[in-house]
Amino acid sequence: MLIMGAIFHQSQLAPSENKFHVGNGDDGKHYWLTPPELYAALDAEFHFDFDPCPYPLPDGFDGLTCEWGQSSYVNPPFGSIMHQGKKKGPTAWVRKAIEEWRKGKRVVLVYPVDKWVLMLMSAILGDHAQVRNLGDVKWLATEDGSVGKGTGRHIACVILEPVQ
């Protein structure tokens, strides 16, 4: 997005200005619900008893701070929201999902990712692969070898071992 001559990434914009709240196209649509047939198939398998991201959102409801059910379906906002005075995005929902999972609860979280990530993850499900978080790598410039500021995103290191 261009603001006063500067270009900003969606992650740097206020929630009310990012593409997830103003819409991605001319139709202005920007909030999306799970298709009923997809939810029904997942519910038949996992027997959900809680949705921390319901629609419509009840007054005063806060899925990031409340206790979740024993089997929760989570379709979080794809963009950032203002929460307790801070801008929070998908990472906040993942942190909460992990917190609830560590309490012995089932969490089924859906979120769009690139197809190549899913391809690597399917390979990782076997015994011959792992994923490591390398943090925000400070890559070196090809021009002079200077250290960059990083991407602001953590880098996944996927290791695929040969099957014997």
Which tens digit of pLDDT belongs to each residue from 39-59? 999 999 999 999 999 988 899
Residues 108, 129: one domain?
Answer: no
Render pLDDT for 130-150 as a digit per residue (tens, 0 to 9).
Answer: 888 899 999 888 899 899 998
pLDDT of residue 163: 76
Best CA proximity match to 78, nearest among 67, 66, 93, 63: 93
Which residues form the domain of 130? 114-164
- Both 101 and 120 in one domain: the answer is no
Query: Quick one: pLDDT at residue 10?
Result: 46
Same-domain check for residues 92 and 153: no
Q: Is residue 61 part of a domain?
A: yes
> Is residue 68 situated within a structural domain?
yes
| Overall domain count for the chain | 2
**Same domain as 124, residue 103:** no
Domain membership of residue 10 (yes or no) is no
pTM of the model: 0.72
